[in-house]
Amino acid sequence: MDTHISMISDVSPFRQLVAKLRRLAPIDEADEAAVLALPHRVGRARARDYLIREGSKPHECCALIDGYAARSKLGVNGGRQIVSFHIPGDILDIQHLFLERADHNVQVISDATLVWVPMAAMRALATQRPTIGTAFWRDALIDASIFREWVLNVGRRDAKTRIAHMLCEFIVRRAAAGLGTAEQTQLPFSQEEIGDATGLTSVHVNRMLRELAEAGLIVRKGRSLEIVDWDGFRRAAGFDAAYLHLAA
Amino acid sequence: MDTHISMISDVSPFRQLVAKLRRLAPIDEADEAAVLALPHRVGRARARDYLIREGSKPHECCALIDGYAARSKLGVNGGRQIVSFHIPGDILDIQHLFLERADHNVQVISDATLVWVPMAAMRALATQRPTIGTAFWRDALIDASIFREWVLNVGRRDAKTRIAHMLCEFIVRRAAAGLGTAEQTQLPFSQEEIGDATGLTSVHVNRMLRELAEAGLIVRKGRSLEIVDWDGFRRAAGFDAAYLHLAA
DNA sequence: CGAGTTGTTGACTCAGGTCAAACAAGGTGG
DNA sequence: CCACCTTGTTTGACCTGAGTCAACAACTCG
């Protein structure tokens, strides 16, 4: 993983993060200035690189600028369970502001760009700028809500619905971050990753995706996926976005 | 659900809560005094009563004094998925300090006693007493860690391991709260509830419990369960408590 | 006592896992 | 430019863990 000190540029590495915080709480210009003034470095990672490993003690906090990431845990038999996906603007380890040791892995699932900020600076920001503290709180609580929905997804829905639900969530979150509508979005997941996120095997994921394609809901183009019938897809998933708490 | 204003008594309704906060952060006497001074009412609930309903907008925050509670969500087919269990001292809806609308239900699973505190007072406590704020943060983040573990549990472990893991977690959390060791603990779950928490049917839970009993790990006495071989049980569950972040 | 819960067991079914083999598409180094 | 490797997709045949259905037993409490 290549890392270098960021140069002065016309686009701040905190642009996506500020946009996200603004969606979570009414941050003002002083808040924004405080974020932009954070000490930091910009790093790059290649698909499959680990950003945080279970059991380590992170002393920097990272946020995604570009690309996608996933949190995962390993089962006894070596099976990986992905517990969430992340998009640009997401803070990937807000939990280490208050917990010492990582209880799961964070990996990028595509080539990605990240900002790293010393944990202490991030913690100071949260306390000295109460509105930012509130945004952090809301972010962490929404993450928890998403985990709860995943327990339901994996525990109670059948394979096809489960896959569709997970994809719906990803698309809606991307759209809420202004990163493209359902029909425009190319989903960046391998079938293996979809399986690891839904508790299914990649073989079965493949079969279910074929059925979804045969039903005219999605189109598979080589390695990537597109939704062609968003309403139908959403209905097939039984998706209700309330748990994402998008309205502030 | 019967509710009344608490009388002056020798035991504060906040005793368990203060003990829990103390395990999460180094709260001092002024912090404790601030908790004890919170406006509140004490309420009672009977097994299966709802404390919070999905979609509602709670304006009071509640903590368990005595008894057990569970968070749950409903699937399309009417199936219930329990996403966590709670023990005395737990705050049941810290998320509504910062999120308006409930995204899941909270139910007691036994007769229980609770303290209700106005949300605004709780929020003020978190900001005016930074150490308590930190305790709240750690509590919320540990909850999230538990949800992640549950995604793994439901997604990747087989039925017997899954049940054992869920029970291990409950026992370890109880023990950490000083509520009894593994061998002393009578587990308060119906097989239906164990099934709802693990994504299994109560019929299959019954079969797995029989196997665990035949293996000499547990004993079933009428409707309740006891662990007789904690080490063996823990091994059968592949349980590692790291994700509970018990060491402060 | 009677009614609603829970627990127990057996017979049968099926969604999803397992195993195995081909195939496709980049990427890389000679 | 080709040979080769890696990573991902696809399909088929077969198997099994967990669900479903149904009946009954045991317990609790109003």
CA of A208 to C1' of D17 (A): 20
Please check the confidence at residue B129 and state whether its pLDDT lies above 60: yes
Query: What local confidence, expressed as pLDDT, does residue B75 receive?
Result: 87
Residues of chain B in contact with residue A75, where contact means CB-CB under 8 angstroms, are 152, 156-157
Please check the confidence at residue B1 and state whether its pLDDT lies above 60: no
Which residue has the least CA–C1' distance to nucleotide D10? Answer: A206
**pLDDT by residue (tens digit) across B147-179?**
999 999 999 999 999 999 999 999 999 999 999
Please check the confidence at residue B6 and state whether its pLDDT lies above 60: no
Which nucleotide has the least CA–C1' distance to A204? C16
Pairing of strands B218-221, B224-227: antiparallel
Phi, psi of B181 (to 5 degrees): -85, 170
Q: Identify the CATH number of the domain defined by range A157-244.
A: 1.10.10.10
Query: What local confidence, expressed as pLDDT, does residue B183 receive?
Result: 83
Phi, psi of B133 (to 5 degrees): -55, -45
Higher pLDDT, A180 or B210: B210
| Mean pLDDT, range B192-198, rounded to an integer | 97
Query: What local confidence, expressed as pLDDT, does residue A1 receive?
Result: 42
Query: What local confidence, expressed as pLDDT, does residue B248 receive?
Result: 57
Question: Could you give the C-alpha distances from B91 to B46, B96, B145, in angstroms and in order?
Answer: 18, 11, 16
Query: What local confidence, expressed as pLDDT, does residue B208 receive?
Result: 97
Q: Please tell us whether the domain made up of B3-143 is placed in CATH 2.60.120.10.
A: yes
Token pair belonging to A191 = 């079938």
- Which positions of chain A have pLDDT values less than 70? 1-10, 248
Question: CATH top-level class for A3-139?
Answer: mainly beta
Which nucleotide has the least CA–C1' distance to B157? D17
**pLDDT by residue (tens digit) across A44-89?**
999 999 999 999 999 999 999 999 999 999 987 878 999 999 999 9
H/E segment holding residue A66: strand A60-66
For residue A117, the cross-strand partners are A61
Q: Please name the residues between 125 and 184 in chain B that touch chain A, using a CB distance below 8 Å.
A: 127, 130, 134, 137-138, 140-145, 147-152, 154-157, 161
Structural domain boundaries in chain B: 3-143, 157-244
Query: What local confidence, expressed as pLDDT, does residue A174 receive?
Result: 95
Asked if residue B186 keeps its beta carbon closer than 7 A to nucleic acid strand C, the reply is no
Q: What percent of chain B has pLDDT over 70?
A: 96
